[in-house]
Amino acid sequence: MSQGGLCPPDRRLVMRRYAALGVLLAVGLTGCTVEEAEAPPPAESEYSDPAVNRPEARQSDVLAQLETVAVKGRAPRTGYDRDHFGRGWKDPDRNGCDARNDILRRDLEDAVAKPGTQGCVILSGHLEDPFTGEIIEFVRGQDTSTEVQIDHVVALSDAWQKGAQLMDPDERVEFANDPLNLLAVDGPTNSAKGDGDAATWLPPNRGFRCDYVARQTAVKVKYELWVTSAERDAIRRIVTTQCPE
């Protein structure tokens, strides 16, 4: 694989991607339009389709998906390194923008892109943070960019301990840059999450917990990762008490 981007996925990954999209249950954040006079927006991707990004998480459907996820113990963290999932952000949908800026554009309201970058460098916008429910003003800069971070809904370290060690390198890069597994969120809250799973960490915003665990479940189905028994029980409890029937 070259350093410039992802190699074309093999047939197995393509088939699993589209199978997962067909049963996707998680709810993405409201999309936005980048207003930019001097540069055209980046090319659309399969993930910009509202039917993919914003379906409603239904209790029975999420539980049915959860039943397909294997239940095992957590493997040792031995050998984990962030670089096993690729260095830096890649361009998984090949629209010319890296995944971080794609997600900022998707999740920020009134996002503004830097002129001359074809919409690929997001300078500002405001985030209706799903983790806290608060409004965060995003301004790109050395001292301000970290106020909004891109969360891996299924943390990379958690994935490593639940099946990602068995993935080939290209698949791990795909996982780390997949918009299904990425959300723009409050930076300090994301740091507090660390590599927690549903059994050890949940968003403070209770109104988002159903959508959050539904998305975690969809990601684990797509990449054939497993859950611990405590994680499965936590997801099931949230879904049965907080997701609509």
Contact 210, 130 (CB under 8 A): no
For the segment 99-125, the average pLDDT, to the nearest whole number, is 95
Higher pLDDT, 79 or 29: 79
Name the pTM for this structure. 0.79
Alpha-carbon Rg for the chain in angstroms: 17
- Give the chain's mean pLDDT: 83
Residue 206 has pLDDT above 90, yes or no: yes
Q: Could you tell me the two tokens for 83?
A: 């670089």
Better pLDDT: 201 or 28: 201
- In the prediction, which pLDDT does 42 show? 55
3-state SS class at 169: helix
Residue 61: predicted pLDDT: 94
Q: What are phi and psi of 7, to 5 degrees?
A: -75, 155
Q: What's the pLDDT at 57?
A: 82
Percent of the chain past pLDDT 90, that is, above it, reads: 73
State mean pLDDT over 158-185.
97
